[in-house]
């Protein structure tokens, strides 16, 4: 990732970053007890606007795109420099909302597979906070099998015409651009007939529906594409070579939990740690409010959360260092993804248990405890969003441990001949 032999040493870089942050970066707002599902659209847009401003502040200070080549507006430094900066910025505010998936996985996909014109056109606005990107991967009929995409892209001269639907796209309603995986060939096995396109999310033919979750959150969206015209210049990678792009795309998605070269701060960890019911501090306060500090069972549960926090932090650092030094394969990031998902489920269960009966039925004065019940019902989302933990288990077994792949009956069958359920209407 470094594009120069005259690289500033990490210690000097960290000292320079420390001084700049102290002089320029604001402290984070107190959102430790904020439930994002309570936010209005206006409040979410304000957070996004703040995130864009913070990204521009980093850019103007020379700390945006630390591992991005200087030719595209970055700093051309190394993963060690990015991780050092993440340590320094941990106590400051940083652009959480627009980090993911703009800087991982979208930016590295464009860096690896984009043309020079695509990189020069799209990466600098990302670094300046001017554009936010989304990934259009999942489909209503596909589950975790993104290679079974039914969204089609048909060539029409110098353009492609896209039709279909994508789902579970976080923040699509305020996004500027998206990376979209679409099927360009039905006469080959499913992995060989895909292509990737850049989509301007504001163009005609894209209809975005908000999905209301059990906890009231409407961050997820479903997109309906109807005769969306995309210039050939916005195709990323080879025609029918989208799975080659997709494999790296999903690898970068997994690296976000602690070792991405492109993400500033730890936005996923911040959300998990500061979300409702998350972390040791809120549990201690809740136990204090409920008079449970001397209860042995409560102490055991809080101790378990603390232990999981320590293990998670140590594991993330260990995996990041292993990948950085080449001791571990990049796919080892799936280990961190698996741990974060399963520990988040356990944390929500512990918070629910400590809240007691008030997490099942609550009065207005017990609304905060009642949210622990909602969190409990939503807990499995931590194992689904951002790539399921089941897929992480597959990656760990096959690509990290070298175990044999399970048999697939559609591997060498033209995709149009693969039996499918009738499309949902």
Do 126 and 141 lie in one domain? The reply is no
What is the spatial distance between Cα 227 and Cα 253, in angstroms, rounded to a whole number?
A: 29
Do 170 and 124 lie in one domain? The reply is no
**Cβ atoms of residues 337 and 257 within 8 Å:** yes
Give the CATH number for residue 150.
Answer: 2.40.110.10
pLDDT of res. 270: 47
* Interstrand relation of 133-136 and 177-183 (parallel, antiparallel or unpaired): parallel
Q: What is the mean pLDDT of the chain?
A: 89
Beta-sheet strands, E only, within 115-251? 133-136, 152-156, 159-170, 177-183, 194-200, 206-210, 220-231, 235-236
Give the CATH number for residue 283.
Answer: 1.20.140.10
pLDDT of res. 215: 87
> Averaged over 74-88, what is the pLDDT?
93
Query: pTM for the complete prediction?
Result: 0.85
Domain finish residue from 132, 151, 180: 132
**Cβ atoms of residues 129 and 55 within 8 Å:** yes
Do 40 and 119 lie in one domain? The reply is yes
246: number of Cβ within 10 Å: 23
Beta-sheet strands, E only, within 44-110? none
Residue 154 CA from chain centroid, whole number: 29
Residue 407 in domain = no
Q: Render pLDDT for 236-259 as a digit per residue (tens, 0 to 9).
A: 999 999 999 999 998 888 776 656
Do 126 and 143 lie in one domain? The reply is no
Residue 178 in domain = yes
Residue 418 in domain = no
pLDDT over 90 (residue 133): yes
The boundaries of the domain holding residue 112 are 10-132
> Averaged over 203-218, what is the pLDDT?
93
Residue 284 in domain = yes
Residue 337 in domain = yes
Q: Render pLDDT for 255-287 as a digit per residue (tens, 0 to 9).
A: 766 568 899 987 655 444 444 445 788 888 888
Do 282 and 195 lie in one domain? The reply is no
Residue given tokens 């918070």 in the structure block: 351
Do 115 and 187 lie in one domain? The reply is no
Residue 175 in domain = yes
Do 310 and 378 lie in one domain? The reply is yes
Do 116 and 183 lie in one domain? The reply is no
Work out how many domains the chain is built from and give that number.
3
Do 102 and 188 lie in one domain? The reply is no
Residue 344 in domain = yes
Do 325 and 387 lie in one domain? The reply is yes
Do 226 and 299 lie in one domain? The reply is no
Q: Render pLDDT for 364-418 as a digit per residue (tens, 0 to 9).
A: 888 888 889 999 999 998 888 777 899 899 999 998 999 998 887 788 899 999 8
Do 224 and 117 lie in one domain? The reply is no
């Amino acid at each position: 990732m470094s594009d120069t032999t005259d690289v500033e040493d990490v210690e000097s870089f960290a000292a320079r970053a420390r001084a700049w942050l102290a002089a320029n970066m604001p402290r984070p707002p107190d959102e430790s007890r904020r439930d994002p599902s309570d936010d209005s659209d206006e409040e979410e847009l304000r957070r996004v606007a703040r995130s864009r401003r913070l990204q521009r502040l980093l850019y103007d200070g020379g700390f945006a795109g630390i591992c991005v080549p200087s030719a595209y507006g970055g700093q051309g430094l190394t993963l060690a420099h990015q991780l050092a900066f993440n340590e320094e910025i941990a106590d400051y505010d940083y652009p959480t909302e627009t980090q993911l998936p703009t800087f991982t996985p979208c930016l590295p996909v464009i860096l690896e597979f984009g043309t020079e014109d695509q990189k020069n056109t799209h990466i600098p606005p990302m670094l300046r906070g001017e554009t936010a990107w989304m990934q259009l991967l999942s489909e209503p009929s596909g589950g975790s099998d993104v290679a079974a995409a039914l969204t089609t892209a048909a060539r029409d001269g110098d353009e492609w015409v896209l039709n279909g639907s994508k789902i579970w796209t976080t923040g699509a309603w305020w996004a500027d651009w998206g990376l979209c995986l679409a099927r360009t060939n039905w006469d080959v096995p499913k992995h060989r007939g895909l292509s990737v396109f850049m989509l301007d999310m504001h163009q005609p033919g894209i209809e975005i529906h908000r999905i209301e979750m059990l906890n009231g959150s409407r961050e997820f969206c479903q997109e309906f594409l109807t005769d969306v015209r995309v210039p050939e210049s916005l195709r990323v990678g080879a025609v029918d070579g989208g799975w080659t792009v997709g494999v790296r795309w999903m690898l970068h998605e997994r690296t976000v939990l602690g070792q991405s070269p492109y993400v500033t701060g730890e936005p996923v960890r911040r959300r998990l740690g500061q979300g409702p019911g998350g972390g040791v501090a809120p549990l201690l306060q809740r136990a204090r409010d409920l008079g449970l500090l001397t209860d042995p069972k409560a102490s055991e549960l809080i101790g378990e959360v603390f232990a999981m926090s320590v293990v998670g932090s140590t594991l993330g650092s260990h995996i990041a260092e292993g990948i950085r030094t080449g001791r571990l394969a990049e796919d080892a990031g799936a280990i961190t993804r698996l741990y974060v998902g399963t520990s988040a489920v356990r944390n929500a269960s512990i918070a629910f248990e400590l809240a007691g009966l008030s997490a099942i039925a609550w009065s207005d004065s017990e609304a905060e405890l009642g949210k622990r019940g909602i969190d409990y019902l939503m807990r499995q989302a931590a194992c689904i969003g951002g790539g399921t933990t089941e897929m992480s288990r597959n990656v760990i077994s096959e690509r990290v441990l070298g175990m044999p792949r399970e048999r697939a009956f559609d591997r060498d069958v033209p995709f149009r001949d693969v039996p499918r359920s009738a499309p949902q209407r």
